[in-house]
Amino acid sequence: MNRLPLEGIRVVDVTVVWAGPHCTQLLAEWGAEVIRVEPLLHIQPSTRGAEQQVTQEMVDRNADSRIPLYSYPNRIVGPRTFNRSAAFNSHARNKRSMTCDVTTPEGLEVFRRLIAVSDVFVENNVPETIEKAAIRYEDLVPYNPRLIMLRMPAYGLSGPFKNYRSFGTHMEGMTGHHHLRSYPNLDPSMTGDAFTADAAGGVMGALAVMMALRHRRRTGKGQLIELAQAENFMAYLGEIVLDTSMNARNWPSQGNQHPTHAPHNVYPCAGEDRWITIDVATDGEWTALRGVIGDPDWTREARFADQLSRWQHHAELDTLLADWTCDKEPFALWRRLTAAGVTAGPVQNEQDAYACPQLDDRGFFEELDHPEFGAFRYPGLNLRMSQVPNHLRRYPVRLGEDNDYLYREILGLSEDERAELERQGHIAMDYPTAPVVAE
């Protein structure tokens, strides 16, 4: 097998929730040795789900609960719930884990030794957390002058919002995304969570690391990369932001509507929570849709005569169209509509995705066999390279699973040093019974 592009690159990972772990996931999938450094006494919140003591009774009494952080294989809590979280395991494949608390002098010394033999350090914590731990770029570069450090705070390393603690949803609210994708006549809280800023931050973070590695190869110099996630996501809304700048107007909530297309929405179909999307952009497409519907009288009314009129009366049009779609099977209707030249598609749920003939034909989902809960199919690689065959290589890493390899082989600690760190509570594969959530 050809060498993966990032083989030989060692990445130290002190990341939380999704954006940072997604960044290092992408690096690990293409060959980097990603080492999660995880404290035992200060839980990284909303990452492994270890801050909650979940029991089997709690799961059984909440059969409809769908919180990925506390969603377990076959709905069995089992031992070491922190190794079973769907949210964590989705991005923890191909990584290593060592346990070490950098907030102590002994842990900080271990961390510095790891940095000295690594290439990249990625973190997405609130800036003051990294400052208190004394693991900023300026703190670490004396131990590794070629270090590349990626910092991914919500709002940057300076400014009045610097130390605001944020999830992706907060950044989307700050940038206006919640407002844009909320529905007319409803407040933005009704949109649900999307966390698009996290996904965008993870991808941009991986790209930034690779650019810095290329720069270091040419110049020999490492550097600090600052990726303010809100600023990164703002660029995804560029056309709307520029319209405000150029024309002094704010966009209304869009919901599923389009600025010019109508109909443009999701419509109910037969079955529980089954939907189809329909998008008509031209009069020709409207004529095609009328043909599939059967050209009833209402489709020939003056209010739907042209694209502008349909857009002006899109609410009435949506109601009439929903009455027609509500008893149709979504996949059969999708085929009828696209065969007629109408842009449409069934709204697939996760079960549909696993059964999707397109994804199945391409072998997108790959099976990984976890030693604690068995084999399941995982979403595969984000991209393929024609000259570099690649697949998922390792199941989602368990807490502290690579302590022996990292402390002995990489850091070269003696048995006495390792035993002392274990006595101090740095090295284990289990959290204490009463963990303290990190601030």
Residue 256: inside a domain, yes or no? no
pLDDT, one tens digit per residue, over 173-218 is 888 888 888 888 888 877 777 788 999 999 999 999 999 999 999 9
The answer to whether residues 346 and 390 belong to one domain is no
Question: Quick one: average pLDDT of 394-403?
Answer: 98
Q: Does residue 336 sit in the same domain as residue 372?
A: no
CATH number for the domain harbouring residue 39? 3.40.50.10540
Domains in the chain, number: 2
Judgement on whether residues 195 and 56 belong to the same structural domain of the protein: yes
Share of the chain above pLDDT 90, in %: 79
| Cis peptide bond N-terminal to 127, omega within 30 | no
| Residue 248 domain flag | no
Tens-place pLDDT, residues 71-87: 889 988 888 999 999 99
Examine residue 312 and state whether it is found in any structural domain, yes or no: yes
Q: Which residues contact 266 (CB under 8 A, 6 or more apart)?
A: 256, 275, 276, 277, 347
Q: Name the percent of the chain in helix, strand, coil, to the closest 5.
A: 45, 15, 45
| Residue 189: predicted pLDDT | 77
CB 25 within 8 A of CB 202: yes
Is 301:246 a contact under the CB 8 Å cutoff?
no
Domain residues for the domain of 205 are: 10-227+361-437
- Same domain membership, residue 425 and residue 280: no
* Same domain? 63 vs 178: yes
Alpha-carbon radius of gyration of the chain: 25
Q: What is the CATH number of the domain that holds 295?
A: 3.30.1540.10
pLDDT digits (tens, 9 = 90+) for 223-255: 999 999 999 999 999 888 899 999 998 888 888
127 and 177 part of one domain: yes
Are 153 and 162 a contacting pair, CB within 8 Å? yes
Instruction: Look up the pTM and report it.
Output: 0.93
> Could you tell me if 115 and 22 lie in one domain?
yes
> Are the beta carbons of 276 and 344 closer than 8 angstroms?
yes
Q: Are residues 344 and 371 in the same domain?
A: no
Structural domain ending residue among the three candidates 302, 336, 354 = 354
pLDDT digits (tens, 9 = 90+) for 115-144: 999 999 999 999 999 999 999 999 999 999
Q: What is the pLDDT of residue 1?
A: 53
State the virtual CA torsion across 166, 169, 171, 174 in degrees, nearest 10.
Answer: -120
Residues 340 and 373 in one domain: no
* 128 φ, ψ (degrees, to nearest 5): -65, -25
Task: Indicate whether 236 belongs to any domain.
Answer: no
* The predicted structure's pLDDT at residue 275: 98
What residue type is assigned to position 366 of the chain? E
> 110 and 174: one domain?
yes
Are both 331 and 423 inside the same structural domain? Answer: no
| Residue pointed to by tokens 């790209």 | 207
Q: Two tokens at 267?
A: 């419509």
Question: For residues 307 and 59, which has the higher predicted lDDT (pLDDT)?
Answer: 307
Contact 123, 15 (CB under 8 A): yes
* C-beta separation of 121 from 150 below 8 A: yes
Q: Is the pLDDT of residue 277 over 90?
A: yes
- On whether residue 102 sits in a domain, the answer given is yes
**Last-in-domain residue among 287, 319, 354:** 354
> What's the mean pLDDT in 282-301?
96
14: nearest Cα among 141, 109, 139, 123: 123
Helices (H), 100-237: 105-116, 127-132, 137-140, 168-175, 177-181, 196-219, 229-234
In a domain, 292, yes or no: yes
Domain boundary among 318, 335, 354: 354
> Is the predicted pLDDT of residue 352 greater than 60, yes or no?
yes
State whether 174 and 305 are in the same domain. no
Which comes out higher in pLDDT, residue 387 or 52? 387
Q: Cβ contacts of residue 25 below 8 Å, gap of 6+?
A: 34, 91, 92, 93, 94, 95, 202
Residue 232, in any domain of the structure: no
Average pLDDT, the chain: 93
pLDDT at 173: 87
| pLDDT reported for residue 29 | 97
Residue 249 falls inside a structural domain? no
Q: Return the sign of the alpha-carbon dihedral for residues 211, 195, 234, 246.
A: positive
150 has pLDDT over 90: yes
